[in-house]
Amino acid sequence: MKDTTVTLGHGSGGRQSAELVSQLLDSFRKRNIGPELEDAALLPGGYAMTLDGFTVSPRRFPGGDIGHLCVCGCANDLAVRGASPDFLGISLVLEEGLSSEEAASYMESAASTCARLGMTLAAGDTKVVPSGAVDGMIITGCAFGRIRTARTLSMTGIHEGDTLLVTTSIGRHGAAIASARFDLPVEGLLSDCAPLWPALSPLLHLEGLRCMRDCTRGGLGTVLCEWAEATGLHFSLDEDAIPVGFQVQSLCDVLGFDPLYMACEGCAALAVAPSDADEALRILRQSPLCADAAVIGRVSSAEPKGMVSMKTSIGGERLVDMPWGEILPRIC
């Protein structure tokens, strides 16, 4: 029986989130006006659009803050669909009692990130709600850009035999938030929160580039499960090949978390034809953000179809499924 009451688990980005989103979109799908479940929508005329809400706690964390996170999250949704981040709209919901100087500091951070990307703030809105209605502030960002590739980057383009890559080490955003929230400082641990367009745009000329997805809530594991279920193919991973930083692994060991499901905000998964995999890896490693880029697995028609398996470090093999419930709410 499906849940009838929304819980924090429905915001995990895992199985419960997928069920809730499916329920919320049902009315649109019945009328054949529902969106495709990709990071950004491809619009007529060669444009792309995305919308995302941010309610991270704490609002300022190791390696970033909610303003920087908003711009990176929106820009990355466009980048993985091959669209340049050109315009941004921001809607603020502020809790009565919040310091205006604090709110302005997040806008300074957002503006700095926009300037680095050549992104213009085109629209905005501000609302103030009574104390207790929200925890401090919520930012909603809407980004708009031009599609820069002639080929559609989509889950539907993933083929049997494709190579799976990840652009950097996983789990750093979720681990940084956990470190701040639980007062468990880890030396050198920072969120990976960063705009991916400078690293991903040089890949767009590759004929074998099939699909890209930034790993946010639910982490790398959830992204690959979504791809496997959408394509009906089998995704096999090599645990030893997946880059995980020492700081992330240490924190996960203490808290009992799996790095595979820890949130990222500057990391993407890629599916690439085998003929272009080495070139994609070479190009990625030229970016300072992607020095740890790696080949982590492949796509096949093996059984069980529509699922993800992983060869473990100790020589075993296990299935990787979407997480159920919420291990760390309000991370993005």
CB 257 within 8 A of CB 184: no
What pLDDT does 109 receive?
98
Q: Cα–Cα distance between 186 and 191 in angstroms, integer?
A: 12
Q: In the predicted model, is pLDDT for residue 8 greater than 90?
A: no
Q: Whole-number mean pLDDT of the chain? A: 95
- The pLDDT tens digits of the residues spanning 19-70 come to 898 899 999 999 999 888 899 999 999 999 999 999 999 999 999 999 999 9
The structure's pTM equals 0.95
CA atoms within 13 A on the CB side of 20: 17
Strand ranges in the chain using DSSP code E only, listed in sequence order: 41-43, 47-54, 60-61, 64-65, 87-95, 120-129, 137-146, 163-166, 209-214, 234-238, 268-272, 294-300, 308-311, 317-320
The contacts of residue 151 (CB under 8 Å, 6+ apart) are 82, 157, 207, 209
- What superfamily does domain 35-147 belong to in CATH? PurM-like, N-terminal domain (3.30.1330.10)
- Evaluate whether the domain defined by 155-320 bears CATH number 1.10.10.10: no
Question: Tokens 């809607």 belong to which residue?
Answer: 91
Q: Could you give phi then psi for residue 103, rounded to 5 degrees? A: -60, -40
The contacts of residue 239 (CB under 8 Å, 6+ apart) are 310, 311, 312, 313
Q: In the predicted model, is pLDDT for residue 1 greater than 60?
A: no
The contacts of residue 183 (CB under 8 Å, 6+ apart) are none
3-state DSSP assignment of residue 216: coil
244 closest CA partner among 174, 329, 319: 174
Cα 297 versus chain centre, distance:
19
Q: In the predicted model, is pLDDT for residue 165 greater than 70?
A: yes
The ranges assigned to domains in the chain are: 35-147, 155-320
